[in-house]
């Protein structure tokens, strides 16, 4: 697949030719175009277009970070049908980490701490504020990416602290950026069907990210796919993210999250690698205003993530160390990788590995 070749292309699906003309001209794709991206059987042609779009932004570079995933707790008041991570307070498997426990998890030299957890019924906002301040004081070299929009919304529901105040105080304490979790799929139908109606809905999730952007806090975005959603719902989700980025402009990365069957078993089998590649490629083509699309190796596996670097992905996340959310849902990937393994994943795809920080500042280019 030669992304640099921007000339006319032959597609097995002739309908892609008109989209290719748009992509080459830098024109925005429509809702109907998005549906075609998810319908076409010409996966190679789709990948070629997405690789061209990615290469126009980043050349052959692929980014990664030395990071540590930290979950302060999995105690959660919600009962989302797709989640194997959450537990009720006192339930077997529930855990609650103190601030000292969290500090012990984040070793010196960690570039990014990615912190998310359950919606704990008893922990006040001040716990999270103290947590960020303690990490910032103990590990000043570590950039802190913490708390999804769903968590920020829950702090308002439980403790009546407005998102703008909460985010401003967390930023003052040392917060650098926000992860993109909790978006699931922007669909009222799915919110009801999958029992996450007690979580921030699409409007609220987007509102909170817009507030973060207005405060100078960069954020990520996600979409949970491969369960009972329709292709039209995937496209609608992507278009709403694109519209928010047009307004507030603070999204760094979009991460498609492949649903892990685990014990929830919403569908009989894991979505295939071809769907992972299609979703990554379609995301790159529709989200023309997002700097990066991530191939999240934890959920799609190292081999598929490496192939996805030819389907529009420009980031593979990082080393992670001890990822729990996907692995409590029985993800087959390891809970963490050494830097050398991440480099191999990128180099095996013939790409240039770029070590970054949480905000995509370049640390080192690995030849």
- Please report the pLDDT score of residue 6 as a whole number: 59
pLDDT 10s per residue in the chain (367 long)?
A: 445 455 566 899 999 999 999 999 999 999 999 999 999 999 999 999 999 999 999 999 999 999 999 999 999 998 888 888 889 999 999 999 999 999 999 998 899 999 999 999 999 999 999 999 999 999 999 999 999 999 999 999 999 999 999 999 999 999 999 999 999 999 999 999 988 878 999 999 999 999 999 999 999 999 999 999 999 999 999 999 999 999 999 999 999 999 988 777 788 888 999 999 999 999 999 999 999 999 999 899 999 999 999 999 999 999 877 444 444 444 444 545 788 889 999 999 999 999 999 999 999 999 7
φ and ψ at residue 344, rounded to 5 degrees: -65, -40
Rg of the chain on CA atoms, in Å: 20
Strands of the sheet with 292-293, listed across from one edge = 67-70, 112-115, 143-146, 175-178, 218-225, 251-258, 292-293
- Please report the pLDDT score of residue 84 as a whole number: 83
pTM: 0.92
Distance in angstroms (rounded) separating the CA atoms of residues 111 and 151: 23
Distance in angstroms (rounded) separating the CA atoms of residues 117 and 86: 9
Q: Cβ-count burial of 104 within 10 angstroms (0-12 exposed, 13-18 middle, 19+ buried)?
A: exposed
CA distance between the termini of the chain:
21
Residue identified by tokens 């922990």 is: 123
Query: Which two tokens mark 67?
Result: 């990071």
Query: Which two tokens mark 273?
Result: 């690698």
Max intra-chain CA distance, the chain = 62
Distance in angstroms (rounded) separating the CA atoms of residues 248 and 246: 6
Task: Please name the residues in contact with 56: beta carbons below 8 A apart, sequence gap of 6 or more.
Answer: none
- Please report the pLDDT score of residue 7 as a whole number: 59
Secondary structure letter of residue 73 according to DSSP? B
In degrees, rounded to 5, the angle at the alpha carbon of residue 142 between the alpha carbons of residues 67 and 116 is 60
- Please report the pLDDT score of residue 197 as a whole number: 79
Q: SS3 of 236, please?
A: helix
Secondary structure letter of residue 178 according to DSSP? E
The domain ranges of the chain are: 60-366
- Beta bridge mates, 355: 64, 364
- Please report the pLDDT score of residue 265 as a whole number: 76
Distance in angstroms (rounded) separating the CA atoms of residues 46 and 271: 18
Q: Cβ-count burial of 64 within 10 angstroms (0-12 exposed, 13-18 middle, 19+ buried)?
A: buried
The third-level CATH classification (topology) of the domain covering 60-366 is TIM Barrel (3.20.20)
Distance in angstroms (rounded) separating the CA atoms of residues 350 and 43: 20
* Residues 241 and 254: beta-carbon distance below 8 Å: yes
Distance in angstroms (rounded) separating the CA atoms of residues 353 and 337: 15
């Amino acid at each position: 697949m030669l992304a640099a070749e921007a000339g006319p292309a032959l597609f097995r699906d002739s309908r892609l030719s008109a989209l290719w003309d748009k992509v080459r001209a830098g024109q925005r794709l429509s809702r109907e175009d998005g549906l075609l991206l998810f319908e076409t059987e010409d996966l190679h042609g789709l990948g070629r277009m997405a690789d061209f779009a990615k290469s126009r932004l980043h050349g052959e570079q692929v980014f990664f970070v030395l990071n540590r995933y930290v979950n302060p707790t999995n105690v959660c008041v919600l009962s989302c049908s797709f989640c194997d991570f959450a537990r009720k307070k006192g339930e077997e498997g529930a855990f609650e980490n103190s601030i000292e426990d969290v500090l012990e998890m984040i070793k010196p030299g960690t570039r990014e701490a990615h912190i998310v957890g359950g919606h704990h019924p008893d922990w006040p906002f001040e716990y999270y504020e103290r947590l960020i301040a303690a990490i910032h004081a103990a590990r000043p070299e570590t950039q802190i990416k913490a708390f999804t929009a769903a968590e920020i919304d829950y702090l308002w529901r439980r403790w009546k602290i407005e998102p703008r105040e909460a985010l401003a105080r967390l930023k003052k304490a040392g917060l650098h950026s926000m992860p993109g979790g909790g978006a699931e799929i922007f669909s009222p139908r799915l919110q009801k069907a999958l029992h996450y109606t007690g979580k921030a809905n699409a409007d609220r999730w987007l509102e909170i990210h817009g507030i973060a952007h207005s405060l100078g806090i960069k954020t990520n975005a996600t979409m949970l796919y491969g369960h009972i959603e329709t292709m039209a719902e995937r496209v609608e989700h992507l278009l709403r993210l694109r519209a928010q980025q047009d307004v507030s402009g603070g999204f760094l990365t979009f991460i498609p999250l492949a649903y892990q069957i685990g014990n929830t078993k919403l569908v009989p089998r894991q979505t295939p690698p071809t769907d992972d590649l299609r979703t990554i490629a379609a995301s790159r083509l529709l989200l023309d205003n997002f700097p990066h699309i991530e191939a999240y190796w934890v959920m799609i596996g190292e081999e598929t993530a490496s192939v996805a670097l030819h389907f529009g992905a420009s980031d593979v996340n990082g080393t992670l160390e001890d990822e729990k959310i996907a692995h409590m849902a029985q993800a087959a990937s390891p809970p963490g990788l050494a830097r050398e393994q991440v480099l191999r994943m990128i180099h095996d795809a013939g790409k240039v590995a770029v070590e970054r920080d949480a905000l995509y500042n370049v640390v080192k280019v690995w030849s």
